[in-house]
Amino acid sequence: MTGSQSEFEARLKGAGLLTTDILYHMPDHPKLLQSFTWQTLDNAPEFSRLSRFLDFWRREIEAVIHSIRIAHADYAGPSGWRNVDEFIRHH
C-alpha cells in the first residue's frame, strides 16, 4: 500500500489484513521471550510490507527474533460485499 493509496483501493487490489505475532528476546535476557503484535494491509504471498518491516527490525532493533506467526485475511471480494438500498437512522 503506497502513501497515496487508500485502504479501500489496497483491498480492491488484493491486500488483506496481515496480523503478525513476533516472539523475540533482548540480548541481555535471552531466556525471556516477549511478544510483539503488528497489523497492516499486505498482499499475499509476497508480503512486501512485512519484509520491509522485518528488514527494519533486523537493522534497527537489538531484539533477536525467535519466531514469527502470521495470519492473513483474504482480499475483499464479492462475498465481502453487501448492497444496502436504504439506511434509516432511528433516534
Q: Parse the chain into domains and list their residue ranges.
A: 7-76
| E strand segments, 5-73 | 16-26, 29-42, 64-72
**pLDDT for residue 14 is more than 80:** no
Q: Rounded to two decimals, what is the model's pTM?
A: 0.70
Spatial separation of the C-alpha atoms in residues 5 and 54, rounded to whole Å: 22
Interval 66-79: pLDDT, tens: 999 999 987 555 55
Q: Which residue has the cell 505475532?
A: 21
Check residue 26 and give its pLDDT.
95
